Amino acid sequence: MVYIWNDPSDVPADFGPSVVTFGNFDGVHRGHQQVLSQLIRSARLSHAKAVAVTFDPHPAVIHRPEAAPELIMGLDDKLEALGELGLDAVLVVKYSLDLASLTAEEFVEQYLVDCLHASHVVIGHDARFGRGNSGDLDTMKALGEKFGFDVQVISEFGAEGYPLHDDDGTDRRCSSTWVREALQAGDVTTAASVLGRPHRMRGEVVHGAARGRALGFPTANLASNATGLIPADGIYAGWLVDQAGKRWPAAISVGSNPTFDGVSRQVEAHVIDRPKEAVEDFDLYGQTVIVEFVERLRGMVAYRGPEALVEQMRLDVAQAHQLLGGR
């Protein structure tokens, strides 16, 4: 079981020693996984606890909200992904201007030393921390000597040897930026390669315009406050995971329904192999579900009326069913 702490006061006084790393971990992509797997290995070898410190909200939301990046995943999904890696605990630190005002030494002393009793700190070679990002690797090594912890430097997955390539075939370092670029282009397969799993959104199923139901393709509509970055408009093959944890193959629509002059973007999932009973018996309204994007089938197109749209939807569902059948 992984412990989730939302405040330093939640950490037991006798907790530790621990092997610690810190970061935003948006997406918990393969680069993050490389760092965290090394952290867990070091913790096991030294009979210590493996701990990740992450921040909520993203620091950019506090410092430059107008330019803050869209988050790849919500906090719940991030904590779930971190927990699945085998960590012993995750400390979620509320990011604020007060936290940002701490010097590099104050941050390390308060959170890593006094709170988590770090015996080792695992960081990337380009890590920055403390007021004005004044702390770096050399700073951490000096603080390790002062406070009595070892510093382990780790390179992230990607350009250092793992064969992940961008569109022109060049090796590229795994990063949250790369995932965002791929999703914004609708390239969910590349996003999955960098993430190490399909991209997902999580949200409550709400009532929509019911056009899908009228056309014979009822959909589960995610609420507008659903978490997870919305990929580019289009039709995708993927999965819907209901509140009970059952996975259903789905054809997923992202867009504003241009055939019907829609305005707001919506994420709707049509469950392909839903129960044979009446549609009304398969009720997802009010449930919090997960929608996973596996492959983009096509872009969003405005059709000349419902008949042409229904024909295309039949083709989309058949293609999604065939693609997902072997997965």
Query: Which secondary-structure segment (H or E) carries 88?
Result: none
Beta-strand pair 234-241/199-206: unpaired
Residue 224 CB: number of other CB atoms within 10 A?
12
* b/e per residue 225-252 (b: at least 16 CB within 10 A): ebbbbbbbebbbbbbbbbeeeeebbbbb
pLDDT at 163: 45
Sequence length of the chain is: 327
pLDDT at 8: 95
Are 294 and 245 a contacting pair, CB within 8 Å?
no
Tell me the C-alpha distance between 254 and 219, whole Å: 12
DSSP single-letter state for residue 176: H
- DSSP letters for 37-72: HHHHHHHHHTT-EEEEEEEES-HHHHH-GGGPPPPS
Asked, as a colleague might, if the bond just before 249 is cis with ω within 30 of 0, I would say no
Are 46 and 117 a contacting pair, CB within 8 Å?
no
Beta-strand pair 118-124/18-22: parallel
Tell me the C-alpha distance between 56 and 25, whole Å: 11
In this structure, the dihedral spanned by the alpha carbons of residues 16, 17, 22 and 28, taken in order and rounded to 10 degrees, is: -70
Give me 308's structure tokens: 């042409």
pLDDT at 54: 97
pLDDT at 263: 53
* b/e per residue 262-301 (b: at least 16 CB within 10 A): eeeebbbbbbbebeeeeeeeeebeeebbbbbbbbbbeebe
Residue carrying the six token digits 């493996």? 50
Of 24, 39, 109, 107, whose CA–CA distance to 71 is shortest? 24
pTM of the entire structure?
A: 0.88
pLDDT tens over the chain, length 327 residues: 899 999 999 999 999 999 999 999 999 999 899 889 989 999 999 999 999 999 999 999 999 999 899 999 999 999 999 999 999 999 999 999 999 999 999 999 999 999 999 999 999 888 899 999 999 999 999 999 999 999 999 865 553 444 455 555 566 788 999 999 999 999 999 999 999 999 999 999 998 765 555 566 888 999 999 999 999 999 999 999 999 999 999 999 999 765 445 557 899 999 997 755 544 456 788 999 999 999 999 998 776 667 777 888 889 999 999 999 855
Bridge partner list, 204: 288
DSSP single-letter state for residue 276: S
pLDDT at 188: 98
pLDDT at 279: 47
pLDDT at 306: 72
Are 55 and 24 a contacting pair, CB within 8 Å?
yes
What are the φ and ψ backbone dihedral angles of 125, each rounded to 5 degrees? -65, -20
Residue 166 CB: number of other CB atoms within 10 A?
13
